Amino acid sequence: MCIFCFGFPVEIWGTVSDWIMILVTAGTAYLLWRTLKSQQEVQSAQNRLLEIEQIKLIKEFKPVIDYKDFHDETRQRFLDKLTNGSDFLSVAAKNLDENIAINYDFITANNSQVEAVEKFFPQPSLIKGDEFAAIHFIIKNLNNENPITYIFHFLFTYNDLIGTKYQQRVYCTKDENGMISIKSHIPEIIKLN
């Protein structure tokens, strides 16, 4: 009896060269899989670096807008609308940064107590040290309070020079002591360019 004489018919099992071809193909497939996995890791790292660079670029061009209440002669034009202890508030938006804010606008929410009566846009862009944009509100005294108190908000939208669009929520309040406070949230990016 021959232990090593076990037969492998070529028609069923193939030849040694067939088996070598299968092993080479399997090895090649494994190496291709490893290469693809490595390329995916590199692509993921590159995408992360791109996101970091975009954030740096946005920070480099992002304007810093500040909001304050102010008094000017505008109030005189709207005295006839101030009835029943209603109040008048003017809010100025001013750029504190070297970066320019363009395509800016005030967006007011529907509020039965507050009416935006006029927007003032002296120029198409807000530049540090230049004039400010403004919005004027009449706040109605719905409950006949003395003194009138209120809290409301509006949105200020603007673009930077690279096209990123921002939206900033601004809250205006007046307490029972007559103290006016204007505070803003951190600007949100609503459109990257």
The CATH number linked to 138 is 2.60.40.1230
**Residue 29 domain boundaries:** 16-60
In a domain, 115, yes or no: yes
* Residues 170, 82 share a domain: yes
56 shares a domain with 67: no
Q: Is residue 146 part of a domain?
A: yes
50-96 pLDDT tens trace: 999 988 988 899 999 999 998 888 778 887 777 777 889 999 999 99
What lies within 8 Å, CB to CB, of 121 at 6+ separation is 104, 133
Same domain? 75 vs 33: no
| 130 and 85 within one domain | yes
Instruction: Tell me, yes or no, whether 30 and 113 share the same domain.
Output: no
12 to 8, 80, 158: CA distances (angstroms) = 7, 103, 75
pLDDT, tens digit, for every residue of 156-182? 999 999 999 999 999 999 998 889 999
Residue 10 lies inside a defined structural domain of this protein: no
For residues 127 and 43, membership in a common domain is answered with no
Same domain, yes or no: 83 and 151: yes
- The answer to whether residue 5 sits within a structural domain is no
Size of the chain, expressed as the number of residues it contains = 193
Give percent of the chain above pLDDT 90.
58
Both 89 and 35 in one domain: the answer is: no
> Residue 60: enclosing H or E segment and its boundaries?
helix 16-61
Q: Give domain status of residue 11, yes or no.
A: no
- The pTM of this model reads 0.74
Report d(CA 95, CA 128) in Å as an integer. 5
Give the pLDDT mean for 40-59.
92
Residues 47 and 134 in one domain: no
For residues 86 and 174, membership in a common domain is answered with yes
Per-residue confidence (pLDDT) for residue 191, from 0 to 100: 83
3 lies in some domain: no
The answer as to whether 4 is a domain residue is no
Would 9 be classed as within a structural domain?
A: no
* Shared domain check, 116 and 49: no
Cα–Cα distances (Å) from 147 to 108, 151, 177, 182, in that order, read 24, 14, 8, 18
Please state the domain count of the chain.
2
Q: Does pLDDT of 24 surpass 60?
A: yes
Token representation of residue 29: 């497939």
55, 68: one domain? no
